[in-house]
Structure 1
């Protein structure tokens, strides 16, 4: 089945959304009981962590950890936003840099100025968007980022998005209460799908869409560690307590180019494999054997693969043993935990 489809459904009583591209599952979002990234709290400073420059905070959903706490004293209320999911037994990661994100706009209180996505190259379009932004913001003292999805979008849709996010930001910043409180919930899977999957697609909202469109079958495959790379080569993605281990196997191909072919296929397939499994943190690649002269080509292919992925991933580099290391934001819970 060719084309893109967004399927909005539920798994049990949990909201879920899936993106299918040419009949293949490309992304999956499933709601959980954990606080959603993007949730804004009025937290209470609890205790500093000496030597780490951070502080534990009290929130309605448990302990949170904030870095860079200059001027913050225990007992002081502070606005923070959840940036990702916590590992079991650890505090929620939060930041003081609030972002109010929607389909077309990101409002950035405390970071003034209007910025437009670099992906929008046309100067006439950029001028149009600047005019819309100035009119929608009026004199509100906040920053704004216009996303790439604004390119060619209707004026009313962009202006409404900006106004809604700016109003939400202003309302939260103006709240003078001192009590610990949830001020804004993060977006659920259906809203995230509308917000982030902006390329043209068929949208399916019928109940049971996951079953009729093959999402449930694809999820069963994704729950396993194996990913086919073609020509008999395989990729194995296996999380441990300390890191995510990725092994590349050439299979029965014994040609001289088997290693580089499998590794280049890995560079293309790895972002999707990690995204679908909800994996982040430290990631170590045990690649198929290849000459050192081919390492730069592999790095370039890997960088291009992750450039199209929304989750922040740093390419750290090679180890003395010839492994390649990545550091990936824990933006999602592992699929193995979500589906238990």
Structure 2
């Protein structure tokens, strides 16, 4: 599989696309006015402790107070994987107490950021855990021989350099030498010393340590795994990233190059078009079927439809082929749109149990390439597949879009006929309330047209009933649901 990273630098925005086999799989966006906060460390102050929820609200200087649960303050299981009892939140925190916290999840909608006191500081190959003294290796490294090699190296470095801290080898550590890992750990220890000293001097509600800028973070996390090339469309940013790669990822520095093409870099492989399509509800499948994706605050639903695909043999084969094709599109859209939380998949109904099992296996296979942790459940009695995907940052739709000012996020507006009936009722209400000689109705042009041209008898009947004239005036600035009834 060929993998490239495209970096687009704008005056106030950085965009990064991860492209696999010529198709965009992930889009990362960072804007000067709206930085992602995950990984940032703050000195916070506890505002409220909620014993009934085993949680607290912490002020860290953001627009909304952040949320801290007891499960994010103490380990939930021991070294053998057995669950540990959670202490009462009141024994760990009190109102007005200063606490060093790290953001686990960005603020989303009306919810504040989610916090943890179990801090982690990542570098290229390792993650330092200042308050969890143990050593380990990422579960995403599957080769047993490599796991044993890394365990031995990490355990030795941990014991020699920082037995009071915890150290985890990241996925990028696969194949790294002991010297490279030791250099990484020494860098992390110096960084943590700086963070720790800075936190003691900081006022509450201030940032103590921020993560790297997006372009450098992507290089740190991805360069050297399966990436074949990194292209950047800014000469100044290219120089910075090249130096960063030489300092921290020397084995992959030769992959970083300056893009000097005439076309915008995101026009390569149709990335710009993919972003546009990722904001629509409908996703077409090559066979003629399609997906319909609806994202709400509680969950995301994905409906699979055969559409124009009728197959060549029988209905069951048509359904199976569409559902199998849909698993590929679903896995890609989850990554591209960065959809997280609870996800409900409504595949086309299959009566054959073997076909259901085949679709589930195909879905799980496609999701293995997703770096976010996913969990897929079996078909429910209603034929739905429930799954979860770890959510750490805002979805692409939340970053690029806002609720429609006309429908206020409902996704639909009242019909012209419905608005006409509402106007009729409002005129009747005003007639009972005011001693007016006449009424003026201000509404959108299409609504006025329906009132005066398409249904003139209805307005005439109302005038006869009230024994008062009703005038209408179209207002081009009114959207379809807006209207005013003015007593004259």
Same fold (TM over 0.5): yes
Uncovered stretches (5+) of structure 2, i.e. residues with no partner: 71-88, 235-263, 402-488
Alignment of 1:223-238 (within 5 A): 223-238=279-294
Deviations 1:115-153 (A, max 9, x none): 223525354784367337634874322111112322223
Alignment partner of 1:78 out of 99, 102, 107: 99
Alignment partner of 2:382 out of 299, 302, 321: 321
- Deviation, structure 1 residue 292: 5.3
Change (3 A) 1:61 1:243: same
Aligned residues between the structures: 339
Structure 1 or 2, whichever has the larger Rg, is: 2
- Deviation, structure 1 residue 236: 2.1
Greater strand percent: which structure?
1
Partner of 1:273: helix, strand, or coil? Answer: helix
Using the size of structure 2 for normalisation, the TM-score is: 0.63
- Deviation, structure 1 residue 325: 1.7
RMSD: 2.6
Matched, 1:192 2:191: no
Q: Which residue in 2 is equivalent to 1:311? A: 372
Q: Which residue in 2 is equivalent to 1:127? A: 149
Matched, 1:296 2:357: yes
Change (3 A) 1:219 1:34: same
Alignment partner of 1:250 out of 301, 306, 313: 306
Using the size of structure 1 for normalisation, the TM-score is: 0.88
Q: Which residue in 2 is equivalent to 1:65? A: 67
Residues 16 and 29 of structure 1 are in contact (CA less than 8 Å); yes or no, is this contact kept in structure 2? yes
Q: Which residue in 1 is equivalent to 2:13? A: 14
Partner of 1:253: helix, strand, or coil? Answer: coil
- Deviation, structure 1 residue 114: 2.2
Uncovered stretches (5+) of structure 1, i.e. residues with no partner: none
Alignment partner of 2:275 out of 201, 219, 227: 219
Matched, 1:176 2:200: yes
**Bigger shift: 26-35 or 151-160?**
151-160
Alignment of 1:261-280 (within 5 A): 261-280=321-340
Matched, 1:108 2:123: no
- Deviation, structure 1 residue 155: 4.5
Residues 235 and 248 of structure 1 are in contact (CA less than 8 Å); yes or no, is this contact kept in structure 2? yes
Distance (whole Å) between structure 1 residues aligned to residue 232 and residue 159 of structure 2:
33
